[in-house]
Amino acid sequence: MGKKREDNIRQFTHKYSKVCVDNNAIDAGLFDEYGVKRGLRDKNGKGVLSGLTNISLIKSSEEVDGKTVPCEGQLYYRGYNIYDLVRGFQNDGRYGFDECAYLLLFGKLPDVEELGDFKRILAYSMTLPTNFVRDVIMKASSGDIMNSLTKSVLTLASYDDRIMDMSLDNVLRQSLMLISVFPMLSVYGYHAYNHYECDESLYIHRPDPRLSTAENLLRLLRPDMSYTPIEAKVLDAALVLHMEHGGGNNSTFTTRVVTSAGSDTYSVIAAALSSLKGPKHGGANIKVVQMMEDLRRNVEDVSNENQVREYLYKLLNKEAFDRSGLIYGMGHAVYSISDPRAKIFKAFVEKLANEKKRHAEFELYSMIERMAPEVIAEKCRIYKGVSANVDFYSGFVYSMLDIPLELYTPIFAIARIVGWSAHRMEELINVDKIIRPAYKSILTLKPYESLKDRSTPKIDGHEDKVYQLPMN
């Protein structure tokens, strides 16, 4: 009966999905007719203004002689240029995650005492409920670590007797706890999958409260808990650069929307995670790595610019890889001339590539970064410039760090939860109103027909067959 049940359901859904398409398709021309901004963005790429924020600033254009012209991309955390922030902790030989997290959450750079207090609070919060790893993470393991992470976050809510307390001190407490435990939830979720689904050895390491977030990530992941200084420094830079990127990106906007409904912190972060996992958002770096693997399989000499260029043409012509017509890692919804995160990250990537003896791969990435905008400009009608985004290099970095593909997007989440938390608190402090944009209805009104008077629907030119689904 099980096979028959599955076959019936499959036939039904295959058939009636076409009905869904027929009755839900909207003429694309109507979006222009009614002035609807698809994706809440103008055709020139400018986003529809939907809120105010004091957390970060993204700059991709400037006014010159009364005209808006593209400029080198700039990113500011609480008014501080990301270049200066990275240069600051790099010159001091420090890890930057804690400092930048403090900056985003509290709106100011910490002094030595404040930073020390903050690190200690994060360390105190780096604990999970008794038997949580065994009873929650290890059970029903999944190769989709983002779903595992979301499950863990929602389950943590059941251990919190102040779940619906919306006071700022409580929301801050919940946020700090989640920021602290995200590396554990992610890595333990992977270990569970790797053991139960892939038949590999299981090892669960405890984090060291004296170490940075990047160091603990590598410590938790690797069997021998070892890592080199450059590995930890590059991963720390990746976390800082992925930490925040304005209120309009999909997962952060989701955070603000769900917060505006009055939902609890765990539900808000679970919603943000669900948004981030999509390949058009946080999952993009996986696509870059898979695209590069396909390139190596199909290009005889990856050092030959003409052969690589021909492959890029095939990507755009939907003749290679996933036939989407995209060169993954190229272009951004906001930036045109450059993504500052990619420019900063590239220097770290080169250092790590040299240590890992993978400089030839780095040169291939650099070649594509240079050629792809030229190829896209030749083949596509674009309204703004195209440049490499941060996802272009992040997957390459994670592969050099021997981080499994399943953890690429969770690492993005480990960083971005800081930004989500800052935006959630800003929404709670300033806006006591649910976010509810308008949708224009194009519905045609119809008179009601009794059941006996309705015609039998026809699908694929044949009268509909009623499927009798088994009841057991």
Question: Per the residue annotation, which of 98, 264, 339, 391 is the catalytic one?
Answer: 391
Residue the block writes with tokens 């649910």: 434
User: In angstroms, rounded to a whole number, what is the distance separating the alpha carbons of residues 213 and 96?
Assistant: 9
Mark out the alpha helices in 300-358 (DSSP H runs): 305-316, 340-355
Contact residues for 215 (Cβ-Cβ < 8 A; gap 6+): 95, 208, 227, 232
Q: Which of 98, 332, 339, 423 is catalytic?
A: 332
Active site residue 42: no
How far apart, in Å, are the Cα atoms of 259 and each of 256, 276, 410, 435? Answer: 5, 16, 22, 9
Cα 412 to Cα 125, 274, 408: the distances in Å are 20, 13, 7
Q: What span, in angstroms and rounded, lies between the C-alpha atoms of 427 and 429?
A: 6
Known catalytic residue at 391: yes
Q: Are 381 and 317 in contact (CB under 8 A)?
A: no
Helices assigned H by DSSP within 61-167: 82-91, 97-106, 112-124, 132, 145-156
Residue 167 falls in which region: left (phi positive, over 0), alpha (psi -120 to 50) or beta? beta
Residues with Cβ within 8 Å of 370's Cβ and at least 6 positions away in sequence, in order, are: none
Given 3-state DSSP classes, what are the helix, strand and coil percentages for the chain, each rounded to the nearest 5? 55, 5, 40
**Phi, psi (rounded to 5 degrees) for 50:** -125, 0
Q: Return contacts of 406-409, CB within 8 angstroms, 24+ apart.
A: 406/143, 406/144, 406/145, 406/190, 406/193, 407/145, 407/186, 407/187, 407/190, 407/221, 408/283, 408/285, 408/286, 408/289, 409/145, 409/146, 409/276, 409/277, 409/282, 409/283, 409/285, 409/286
Rounded CA gap, 424 and 192, in Å? 31
Catalytic residues, by residue number, are 332, 391
